[in-house]
Structure 1
Amino acid sequence: MSGFTSWFFGDPAQRTQSFLRAQEQRLIQRLILRAPDHIEPAQLSGLGALGAIVAAAALIAAHSWPAAIWIIPPAIAVNWYGLSLDLPLARSRGHEAAADGMAHHLCEIFSQLAVLLAYGFSPFLTLRSATIVLVCYLLFSAYAYIRAATRHVEQMAYIGIGVTEFRILLMLWPFAAILLGVPESLGDRLPAIDVAIMSLAGLTMAGLIAKLFLDSRKITAASGPEE
């Protein structure tokens, strides 16, 4: 069991690791060096939120304007740029403030809400599936914040999938959906995409419950017996 949980949830010594983390961090450092001096971290957070708004609008517009699908990747790339560079830029300048962290997290949550809800009104996902994905995302986000508060461990990736990998999935899904014929099946009473999403969500929730149980035991053991 311990071997499976280590594989599923990651090495405790590498809580924040995701598949692309190393490459992403190198890219972020290069971009920070090229960032204009007048740009503030809060402005980057706002830019990230703006990218999410554009992506959400393109998703919804794809019903009547199929070419809007090509707007989604660059818009999500802008979202990544703004919300991946804002806090590292503040740290590199040596004056990271609580307001920077608040702006980042608010814009991050808003971005995911906007894009996932827009998917529910797009030709690429049903509203039911989009809602299920959104609930799973919010549950994992809430659990990450709870862990940070109780154990001072910021775990941003599960089974190698972090925020960046999730953005890539959101960026590529419209093209995958077209190849899989999802738009043509959305009129069915229970399309195959809903069945797949619900099945994956069930497995995900089971994994989260197992992790909650294991972490609770570790916290209890670490706190020791009450005196």
Structure 2
Amino acid sequence: MRSGDVLKWLRNASPQRGQSFFYTLEQQATLAIARAAPHWVKPSHLSLLGAVAAVCAAAILVGSHSWPDLIWLLPPAMLVNWFGLTADLPLARLRGGELPGSGMTHHVAELFSHVLLIVAYGFSPFLSARAAAIILVCYLLFSSYCYIRAATRQTQQMAYLGIGVTEFRLLLAFWPFIAIALGVPESLHDPLPGIDVAVMALALIAVLGLFGKLFKDGRRIAAASTQEK
């Protein structure tokens, strides 16, 4: 793949601030996937594939209560989820068919996948229902802010402190193994597990940071509106 192709691809992509750790590498990978996709594969097929993979991953998490070895299937399921929901829009752009419907299908499938997986973690041996609920609230807050910001500034903030959708998927894929190493499953029977305390603290920091960013962006939007008058 030539560097000129990558730069052209990045220029033609939707306007966004790609600040995540794996942004550039991911753009190169999705370009290669989109160019190699058979002609009969449509963006909607990939979006559906990603959503179905999320359902499988959620079933793996819940089923790991009874069948612990199922958890080894979680990373492959999340890989398919990443493949479908990362390559669908690039494929649409490459074929010149990035219609509003393609974007709508992608965002609905991605939102469905993440919400389903966070809820499934609450019913798994690797996270308490309380911690999962806190994470879900934070995810919905950040997602809402992302979409509002896109509507008001015609740009999408896809990452915060280097953590974007791909990094979040990696965490969802490998958290069970981290949790086992930290002894989280055994601690969930405590009145207040340590993982809950950690999630609460991180959630508080994240929400405060979000409100700070909201205040700064509000001032920038107000200043830009004043200049346009």
Give the AA of the match of 1:50: V
Rounded to whole Å, the distance in 2 between the matches of 1:220 and 1:34 is 44
How far residue 219 of structure 1 moved from its aligned partner, in angstroms, is 1.3
Q: Secondary structure at the match of 1:224?
A: helix
Rounded to whole Å, the distance in 1 between the matches of 2:160 and 2:87 is 22
Return the TM-score normalized by structure 1. Answer: 0.92
Q: CA offsets, 1:140-178, max 9 Å, x none?
A: 111011111111121110000000000001111000000
Residue number among 74, 77, 88 corresponding to 2:76 in the alignment: 74
How far residue 224 of structure 1 moved from its aligned partner, in angstroms, is 1.4
Q: CA offsets, 1:8-42, max 9 Å, x none?
A: xxxxx972221001111111111112211101100
**Moved >4 Å (runs of 4+):** none
Counterpart of 1:223 in structure 2 is 225
Q: CA offsets, 1:78-111, max 9 Å, x none?
A: 0000000001001100111111111101100000
Give the AA of the match of 2:22: L
Rounded to whole Å, the distance in 2 between the matches of 1:67 and 1:226 is 60
Return the TM-score normalized by structure 2. Answer: 0.91
How far residue 71 of structure 1 moved from its aligned partner, in angstroms, is 1.0
| Correspondence list, 1:107-122, <5 A | 107-122=109-124
CA RMSD, 1 decimal: 1.5
**How many residue pairs were aligned?**
215
Give the AA of the match of 1:101: G
Rounded to whole Å, the distance in 2 between the matches of 1:135 and 1:213 is 20
Give the AA of the match of 2:157: Q
Give the AA of the match of 2:98: E
Query: Identity across aligned pairs (percent)?
Result: 58
Residue number among 138, 145, 148 corresponding to 1:146 in the alignment: 148
| Correspondence list, 1:131-170, <5 A | 131-170=133-172
Rounded to whole Å, the distance in 1 between the matches of 2:225 and 2:95 is 37
Rounded to whole Å, the distance in 1 between the matches of 2:16 and 2:155 is 10
Counterpart of 1:88 in structure 2 is 90
Rounded to whole Å, the distance in 2 between the matches of 1:167 and 1:190 is 26
Residue number among 203, 206, 209 corresponding to 1:204 in the alignment: 206
Counterpart of 2:28 in structure 1 is 26
Q: Which runs of 5+ in 2 are unaligned?
A: 1-14
Counterpart of 1:65 in structure 2 is 67
